[in-house]
């Protein structure tokens, strides 16, 4: 072949190769621009969870109590209702089956476990009395305060309705640095003993107290469900104090904007200049109402938003993640457990949409009954990055209507995962999950050193 022919071929090949290289470069540039775009959108998304152990699905294998005939045929719901059933110990285990006692446990690798459903003692060795409660983190003292119904009295049946009740004793308050060892601070809003017309007279009902702090007035403001023994008064009570440990002074009882109000909670939006809201079951529990609180938090503004209309939900517990508001509610079945649902809204006073049952793990009967409990509060998990990572603590009560003071606490990890649209930081969907664990630890720092994480229960482990 003549040299000039070779040169021409080589020249053609060189042109083709240059063309291919140019095409590849153009494609790579386009891909890299695309990548940068996606990466910048991804930065808007919450970082991935690192505490994945909390999200492990843990199933529950129940060991039927000794002496129970035909354990394979038992129906958990029936056993829960049957006060004389030997299987009741599955739900209300006595100290034989483990107890959360912060006094006897050395602070080491086996301490700081939450034991849902087990007896939980305070630092003086008495069962904690803070039912239907909520937690305030007090920035001034760097301390958590747990407020709830102090129910350490005999259970009787309310005349007329037959509903189990305990005379009002007041609101119990406990303090803690680690959410695990709680010191009793006293009954900070006590029942009224003599004046039978008082909202907090012992013959009435005081439920679901919650406390928030008002930066403008420097006051701690308590909201609670107040009622008569037949639940027909259906109102809210407000009390204030200059200290988290009280004593609280009762301000007033009201029906918010004239509406009946039963199960309730308050939510303070720390990311929105401290805007706070009252959320309550209304119109005989047919719907949930939401009103913003006035500046000093002692009353509601005159706008009432109606949510979950016709859904018959109660026990609202509200939290926020990634700019979206979430609410866990229960159905209405008195003291008996039922299925939890999660709802979400982009604005507290906006439209609430129902996502579904958040319960994961254990077994089907447990998931359909909120692990045999009813929610009361959702707390950002300290050490878990709180809002950033979408890690929370779901606090619930396993009510014992035969002996209300022995109702148990069910604290479980709750996570939120959000998927955003590819090019816009708009949530496409979110998933809220509450994970069953027989025992677990929160990723809390101990002396600034150790992170506690969950550890599934192993047979033979000490509790
Ligand atoms: C369900 C509510 O959530 C509880 O707070 C209490 O009011 C019971 N009903 C009473 O039956």
Q: Is 338 in the pocket of ligand 1 (CB under 6 A)?
A: no
- Residue pair 133/377 in contact (Cβ under 8 Å)? The answer is yes
Atom nearest to 315 CA in ligand 1: 3
CA of 132 to the centre of ligand 1 (A): 9
Q: Is 335 in the pocket of ligand 1 (CB under 6 A)?
A: yes
**What is the pLDDT, as a whole number, of residue 15?**
80
**What is the pLDDT, as a whole number, of residue 7?**
79
**What is the pLDDT, as a whole number, of residue 250?**
98
Q: What is the 3-state secondary structure (H, E, C) of the chain?
A: CCHHHHHHHHHHHHHHHHHHHHHHHHHHHHHHHHHHHHHHHHHCCCCCCCCHHHHCCCECCCCCCCCCCCHHHCCHHHHHHCCCCCCHHHHCCCHHHCEECCCCCCCCCCCCCECCCCEEECCCCCECCCEEEEEEEECCCCEEEEEEECCCCCEEECCCCCCEEECCCEEEEEEECCCCCCEEEEEEEECECCCCCCCCECCCEEEEEEEEEECCCCEEEEEEEEECCCCCCCEEEEEEECCCCCCCEEEEEECHHHCCCCCEEEEEECCCCCEEEEEEEECCCCEEEEEEECCCCCCECCCCEEECCCCCEEEEEEEEECCEEEEEEEECCCCCCCCCEEEEECCCCCCCEEEECCEECECHHHHCCCCCCEEEEEEECCCCCCCCCCEEEEEEEECCCCCHHHCEEEEEEEEEEEEECCCCCCEEEEEEEEECCCCECCCCEECCCEECCCCCCCCCCCC
Residue 26 lies in a domain: no
Choosing from 132, 228, 335 the residue with most ligand 1 atoms within 8 A of its CB, the one to mutate for a pocket test is 335
Q: Is 163 in the pocket of ligand 1 (CB under 6 A)?
A: yes
387 φψ region: left (φ > 0), alpha (ψ -120 to 50), beta (else): alpha
CA of 43 to the centre of ligand 1 (A): 43
Residue 306 lies in a domain: yes
Query: Which residue's CA lies nearest to atom 3 of ligand 1?
Result: 315
Q: Report the number of distinct structural domains present in the chain.
A: 1
Residue 42 lies in a domain: no
Residue 93 lies in a domain: yes
Residue 33 lies in a domain: no
pLDDT in 10s for each residue of the chain, 463 residues: 677 777 788 888 888 787 777 777 777 675 555 545 444 433 333 333 346 778 889 998 877 666 666 777 778 888 888 888 888 888 999 887 789 998 866 555 557 889 999 999 999 999 999 999 999 999 999 999 999 999 999 999 988 788 999 999 999 999 999 899 999 999 999 999 999 999 999 999 999 999 999 999 999 999 999 999 999 999 999 999 999 999 999 999 999 999 999 999 999 999 999 999 999 999 999 999 999 999 999 999 999 999 999 999 999 999 999 889 999 999 999 999 999 999 999 999 999 999 999 999 999 999 999 999 999 999 998 865 544 568 899 999 999 999 999 999 999 999 998 877 777 667 777 889 999 999 888 877 666 566 676 544 444 444 4
Residue 383 lies in a domain: yes
Quickly count: other Cβ atoms within 10 Å of residue 373's Cβ.
28
Choosing from 235, 328, 334 the residue with most ligand 1 atoms within 8 A of its CB, the one to mutate for a pocket test is 334
**What is the pLDDT, as a whole number, of residue 96?**
79
Query: Which residue's CA lies nearest to atom 11 of ligand 1?
Result: 334
CA of 334 to the centre of ligand 1 (A): 5
Residue 68 lies in a domain: yes
Residue 206 lies in domain: 51-451
Q: Is 387 in the pocket of ligand 1 (CB under 6 A)?
A: no
CA of 225 to the centre of ligand 1 (A): 10
Choosing from 262, 284, 313, 375 the residue with most ligand 1 atoms within 8 A of its CB, the one to mutate for a pocket test is 262
**What is the pLDDT, as a whole number, of residue 286?**
98
**What is the pLDDT, as a whole number, of residue 67?**
67
- Residue pair 329/377 in contact (Cβ under 8 Å)? The answer is no
Residue 18 lies in a domain: no
Atom nearest to 205 CA in ligand 1: 7
Q: Is 149 in the pocket of ligand 1 (CB under 6 A)?
A: no
CATH of the domain at 267: 2.115.10.20
CA 111 to centroid of chain Cα atoms: 22
CA-to-CA distance for 228 and 445, rounded, in angstroms?
Answer: 44
CA-to-CA distance for 372 and 78, rounded, in angstroms?
Answer: 12
Query: Which residue's CA lies nearest to atom 10 of ligand 1?
Result: 334
pTM reported for the whole predicted model: 0.86
């Amino acid at each position: 072949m003549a040299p000039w022919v070779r040169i021409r071929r080589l020249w053609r090949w060189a042109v083709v190769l240059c063309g291919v290289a140019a095409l590849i470069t153009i494609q790579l540039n386009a891909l890299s621009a695309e990548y940068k775009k996606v990466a910048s959108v991804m930065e808007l998304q919450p970082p991935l969870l690192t505490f994945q152990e909390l999200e492990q699905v843990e199933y529950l294998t129940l060991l039927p109590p000794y002496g129970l005939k035909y354990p394979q045929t038992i129906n958990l719901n029936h056993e829960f209702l049957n006060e004389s059933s030997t299987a009741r110990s599955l739900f209300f285990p006595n100290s034989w089956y483990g107890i959360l006692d912060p006094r006897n446990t050395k602070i080491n690798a086996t301490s700081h476990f939450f034991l849902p459903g087990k007896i939980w003692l305070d630092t003086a060795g008495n069962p904690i009395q803070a039912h239907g409660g909520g937690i305030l983190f007090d920035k001034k003292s760097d301390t958590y305060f747990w407020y709830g119904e102090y129910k350490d009295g005999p259970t009787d049946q309310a005349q007329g309705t037959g509903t189990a009740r305990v005379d009002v004793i007041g609101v119990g308050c406990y303090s803690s640095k680690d959410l695990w060892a709680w010191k009793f601070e006293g009954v900070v809003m006590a029942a009224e003993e003599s004046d039978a017309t008082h909202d907090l007279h012992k013959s009435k009902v005081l439920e679901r107290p919650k406390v928030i702090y008002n930066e403008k007035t420097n006051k701690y403001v308590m909201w609670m469900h107040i009622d008569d023994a037949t639940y027909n008064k259906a109102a809210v009570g407000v009390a204030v104090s200059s200290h988290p440990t009280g004593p609280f002074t009762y301000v007033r009882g009201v029906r918010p904007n004239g509406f009946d109000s039963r199960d309730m909670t308050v939510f303070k939006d720390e990311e929105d200049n401290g805007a706070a809201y009252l959320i309550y079951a209304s119109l005989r529990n047919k719907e949930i109402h939401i009103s913003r609180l006035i500046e000093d938090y002692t009353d509601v503004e005159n706008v009432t938003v109606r949510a979950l209309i016709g859904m018959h939900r109660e026990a609202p517990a509200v939290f926020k993640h990634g700019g979206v508001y979430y609410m866990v509610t229960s159905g209405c079945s008195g003291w008996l457990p039922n299925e939890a649902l999660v709802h979400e809204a982009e604005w507290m006073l906006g439209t609430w949409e129902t996502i579904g049952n958040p319960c994961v793990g254990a077994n089907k009967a447990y998931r359909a009954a909120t692990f045999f409990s009813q929610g009361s509060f959702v707390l950002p998990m300290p050490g878990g990055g709180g809002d950033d990572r979408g890690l929370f603590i779901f606090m619930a009560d396993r009510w014992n209507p035969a002996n209300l003071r022995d109702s148990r606490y069910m604290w479980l990890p709750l996570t939120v995962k959000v998927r955003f649209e590819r090019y816009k930081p708009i949530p496409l969907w979110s998933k809220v999950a509450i994970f069953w664990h027989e025992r677990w630890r929160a990723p809390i720092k101990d002396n600034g050193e150790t992170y506690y994480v969950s550890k599934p229960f192993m047979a033979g482990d000490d509790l």
